[in-house]
Amino acid sequence: MRSNPRLSLLSDEDRVELTGVLTRVEAAQEALAAAEAEQTRALAEAGAFAARLAEGSSAVVRDRDMALRGVAAEIAAAVRLSDRSVQRQIDSAFALVNDYPATVHCLEKGLITRAHVAVVEDIGRRLPIELKGEFDQLAAEICLDETPGRARADLEVIAERMNPRTLTERHAGAFRERKIVRYPVGEGMSELRSVHSTVLIEGIFQRVTDQANEVIAAREPGSDDTRSLDEVRADLFADMLLTSTPNVDPTGSGDEPGGLGAITAKVQVVIPVMALMGRSDVPCDLAGVGPIDAKTARLLAGNSYGTWERLLTHPITGLTMAVDTYQRTKPMDRFLKGRDKHCRWPGCRMPARKCEVDHNHDAALGGKTEICNLCCLCQRHHSMKQFTAWKVRQRDGGVMEWTSPTGRIYTDNPPGHGVHFTPEEDLPDDLWARWTNPGLEFRITDGPADNRHEPAPF
């Protein structure tokens, strides 16, 4: 397939026009961010004003609430919003300005967006008040270089490691709240919702998605089956809950069963070595989703499930040192998926297991098939790199440098780059020697969940 010369080569006039549009969008974004920051500060001041009105009262809580209601009603009438909505905005703004000053400052300067701020608020509320200042500084720094989606992934890990209660402890309590609930949504339809372990929910969703894709791929030309992916997923989900296996399997032939029932989920879990050995309860990472507790990760690593991909990371540098996958893959692909974890287009969070391994310098143009010329790209961004004027080259350490059609350069660091933590205890001397051995291998021996996993002797 050949690229369109019009898209891959811009004329000077095209470049000037695109640069003009980009400049206007950036200016508007900065102005919008500054306006949102100013509104946030004004609403926070309204909250402080209401608190001052209630000072000296013997029923401070009640009087502050009434004062806040009055102030919220005044603002609501002026801006044509409900007073309840404005009161919630005031509470949120007051907490934001006081708990996350660095984040608000970055918004005010147009360095981040309101979407970044929402991520910081959402994750930061899980931390006790005495830790919010430190979290705010780290969050602001990360948001400067990442999209909200990628920033969320990094901040999830940071918040979990800062929390005085381990994720393992909190997960144990939350796990007791697992349930299935149903809600009527009208028109003869209802919603079934399951609250369960993140790992299991992700596995269920991936399995039913893979099955649905197989159903769609098996359609004959001119088939009456015009269901969307969402519709097929929903039908398969109901089939499996009611009959254990999909009731109708178009991948079968005659009386022979099809392959839908044999499809298993493919979930990637990143496990720090100290957590794997049971010497730490630092959170592990369900790639593309977020943190999971160390106990669950150890359970996955300790059982010979053919459906889990396990990655081991160095506890200090954060680099992927070894990979144990559910299927046989070339060592090079295993390394790349372990290093990249997701698509390397700036801001994309598509998990590496769904990506293609791409030659940064095309093989057809002399690019070599080696680690320093390969990275994971999702189908969308692989096509963008191939058929538009965007260019990419890989620098040392797996850093990707993208050049836009207007000549701007954007850098995408490997996941975890610059965000590392000191382990809870020092590595034993013998283990440290093995980690720093240039010829290191680290192997997992599949076995019962309570088996210990030790570094292989060298």
Residue ranges covered by each domain of the chain: 18-163, 200-262, 268-412
Predicted pLDDT of residue 167 = 80
Is residue 451 predicted with pLDDT exceeding 50? no
Which residue type is seen at 171?
H
Q: Which segment of 192-201, 215-224, 292-301, 411-420 scores lowest on mean pLDDT?
A: 411-420
pLDDT above 70 covers a percentage of the chain that reads 74
Is residue 318 predicted with pLDDT exceeding 70? no
Q: Residue 397 has what DSSP assignment? A: G
Of 201, 167, 194, 166, the residue nearest 180 (C-alpha): 194
Q: What is the pLDDT of residues 331-349, one digit of tens each?
A: 678 888 888 889 999 888 8
Please state, as a whole number, how many other Cβ atoms lie within 10 Å of the Cβ of residue 266: 20
SS3 229: helix
Mean of the per-residue pLDDT values for the chain? Answer: 79
Is residue 403 predicted with pLDDT exceeding 60? yes
Question: Is 360:394 a contact under the CB 8 Å cutoff?
Answer: yes
Q: What is the pLDDT of residues 124-138, one digit of tens each?
A: 988 999 999 999 999
Residues 6+ apart with CB under 8 A from 369: 332, 359, 363
Give whichever of 132-136, 315-319, 414-418, 451-455 has the largest mean pLDDT: 132-136
Of 69, 94, 92, the residue nearest 82 (C-alpha): 69
SS3 359: strand
Predicted pLDDT of residue 69 = 87
SS3 341: coil
Q: What is the mean pLDDT of residues 319-336?
A: 56
Is the pTM higher than 0.75?
no
Cα-based torsion angle of the residue sequence 137, 138, 143, 147 in order, rounded to the nearest 10 degrees = -160
Question: Is 288:247 a contact under the CB 8 Å cutoff?
Answer: no
Please state, as a whole number, how many other Cβ atoms lie within 10 Å of the Cβ of residue 412: 23
Residues 6+ apart with CB under 8 A from 252: 258, 259
Predicted pLDDT of residue 400 = 94
Label residue 420 by pLDDT band (50, 70, 90).
very low
> How far, CA to CA in Å, does 23 sit from each of 20, 28, 353?
5, 9, 36
C-alpha to C-alpha distance for 58 and 133, rounded to whole angstroms = 31
Residue 201: both structure tokens together: 């929910």
Q: What is the pLDDT of residues 164-182, one digit of tens each?
A: 888 888 888 888 899 999 8
Q: Degrees (nearest 5) of the Cα angle 195, 200, 206?
A: 110
Is the four-CA dihedral 400, 401, 405, 406 of positive or negative sign?
positive
Label residue 43 by pLDDT band (50, 70, 90).
very high
- Can you say how many angstroms the Cα of residue 326 is from the centroid of all Cα atoms in its chain? 22
Per DSSP bridges, beta strands 179-186 and 189-195 are antiparallel
C-alpha to C-alpha distance for 62 and 69, rounded to whole angstroms = 11
Q: What is the mean pLDDT of residues 219-238?
A: 90
Predicted pLDDT of residue 140 = 95
Q: Degrees (nearest 5) of the Cα angle 406, 411, 414?
A: 150
Q: What is the pLDDT of residues 53-105, one digit of tens each?
A: 877 655 555 677 888 888 898 898 888 988 889 999 999 999 999 999 999 99
Residue 114: both structure tokens together: 């309101």
Predicted pLDDT of residue 238 = 86
Q: What is the mean pLDDT of residues 299-316?
A: 57
Is residue 186 predicted with pLDDT exceeding 70? yes
Predicted pLDDT of residue 439 = 38
Phi-psi region of 26 (alpha: psi -120 to 50; beta: other; left: phi over 0): alpha
Label residue 364 by pLDDT band (50, 70, 90).
confident
Is residue 257 predicted with pLDDT exceeding 50? yes
Label residue 227 by pLDDT band (50, 70, 90).
very high
C-alpha to C-alpha distance for 63 and 54, rounded to whole angstroms = 5
Label residue 256 by pLDDT band (50, 70, 90).
low
Q: Degrees (nearest 5) of the Cα angle 200, 166, 454?
A: 75
C-alpha to C-alpha distance for 170 and 155, rounded to whole angstroms = 18
Q: Which segment of 11-15, 185-189, 229-233, 318-322 scores lowest on mean pLDDT?
A: 318-322
Q: What is the mean pLDDT of residues 219-243?
A: 88
Predicted pLDDT of residue 102 = 96
Helices (H), 109-228: 114-124, 132-143, 148-162, 167-175, 198-217
Is residue 153 predicted with pLDDT exceeding 60? yes
Q: What is the mean pLDDT of residues 401-427?
A: 71
Beta bridge partners of 311: 270, 323
pLDDT above 90 covers a percentage of the chain that reads 32
Predicted pLDDT of residue 23 = 94
Is the four-CA dihedral 209, 214, 215, 216 of positive or negative sign?
positive
- For the CA atoms of the chain, what is the radius of gyration? 26
Question: Is 270:313 a contact under the CB 8 Å cutoff?
Answer: yes
Question: Is 155:141 a contact under the CB 8 Å cutoff?
Answer: no
C-alpha to C-alpha distance for 153 and 95, rounded to whole angstroms = 23
Question: Is 235:250 a contact under the CB 8 Å cutoff?
Answer: no
Q: What is the mean pLDDT of residues 250-254?
A: 62
